[in-house]
Amino acid sequence: MPKKIVLKIKQDRPQEPVEMEPAPQQAEELPAVVEPEQPVPEPQPATPPGGLEEALKEYEELMKDLDLIRNLDKNVIAHCMKLDDLKPQLVRNIVGRLSEKRTAVLKKSTAVLEKMRAARDSLGSEFAGVEEELIWSSIELNTMQLEGGKVDPRRVGLREELEARIPELRKKLTTLRNRLKMVEDVIKNLSELPRNIVELTSSKEDIAKLFEDAKKRYMLTHGPRAEAVLRAEIDRVAQQEAIPREYATLLVWKAAVQR
C-alpha cells in the first residue's frame, strides 16, 4: 500500500471570521396597480395673449391720433375762413404740417400692424388646438354612447367629464373665433391706412359746405355751367399750388367771397 502523506500547514495568524451576508429574502409579490384614467383637463378661458393686449392699446392710441388730426384739419379750415387775406403759401405750409402728423401716424401704424399679425398667428394656433380637442372629445363621447350599457364602470367618470367639457370647449372656440375676426378687421384697417389716411383725417363735411356755397356764387355769373366751371377751377388751383383739392376748394371759395 502507498504511504499516507500528512501535510502540516503552519498558520502565522488566526484566520479572521468572514462575515456572511444574509441571503436576500424573496421580495413580496405585490398586486398589480391599475392606474386610474387621467381626468380630462378643464378648458382654460380664452384670454388674449399679452401681445394682443398691448397691440390693442397701441391701436386705440393710433385711432386717437387720427381723431386729433381730423380735429386739427377742421379747425384749420374754420380759421382760414375767417382770414381776410388767405395766401396760397400759408395754405401750403399748413398742409405740410398736417402731412407730417399723418406721416408720423403711418410710421406708428407699421409697428402696430406687425404686433397684430403676431397676435393673429398666436390666436390661430390656440383656435386650432381647441378645435382639435373638441373633435377628439366628441369622438370619445360618441364612442362611449355607442357602447350603451357595456361601458366599463371605470370610465363612467370620464364620460361625465366629457359631457361637461364639450360645451365649454364649444364656448371657448366661439370666443376665439370672434376675437380672430376682430383682429382680422383691425389688420385690414391698418393695411389700408396708407391709402385712406387723408380721407379719414379730412373735414369733408365742412369742405362740402364751402363747395355748395361757392357753386351758388358761380351760378350768378356762369348759370347752369356753374358746377363744371367751379370744379375745373378747383382742379387748376390744386395743381398750380400743389395742395389737396380740399384746400384748393377753400382758396376758390375765399376768392369767390371776396369778389
**What digits encode the pLDDT tens for the residues 52-96?**
999 999 999 999 999 999 999 999 999 999 998 899 999 999 999
What is the pLDDT at residue 152? 66
The residues, any chain, with a CB within 8 Å of residue 210's CB and separated by 6 or more, are 77, 81, 249, 250, 253
For residue 209, which of 258, 238, 246 has the smallest C-alpha distance? 246
What is the pLDDT at residue 145? 80
Question: What long-range pairs does 117-122 form, CB within 8 A, spacing at least 24?
Answer: 117/187, 118/51, 118/55, 119/48, 119/49, 119/51, 119/52, 119/55, 119/183, 120/180, 120/183, 120/184, 120/187, 122/49, 122/51, 122/52
- The ranges of the chain with pLDDT < 70 are 1-50, 148-156
What is the pLDDT at residue 159? 82
What is the pLDDT at residue 111? 95
Burial of 35-74, coded b for 16+ CB within 10 Å and e otherwise, reads eeeeebeebeebebeebbeebbebbeebeebbeebeebbb
Other C-beta atoms closer than 10 Å to the C-beta of 94 total 18
Distance from C-alpha of 133 to C-alpha of 139, rounded to nearest angstrom: 10
What is the pLDDT at residue 160? 83
Burial of 100-129, coded b for 16+ CB within 10 Å and e otherwise, reads ebbeebeeebeebbebbeebbebbeebbee
What is the pLDDT at residue 150? 65
3-state DSSP of 70-104: HHHHHHHHHHHHHCCCCCHHHHHHHHHHHHHHHHH
The three cell numbers locating residue 254: 375765399
The three cell numbers locating residue 44: 382654460
Domain positions in the chain: 46-79+86-201, 203-259
What is the pLDDT at residue 19? 47
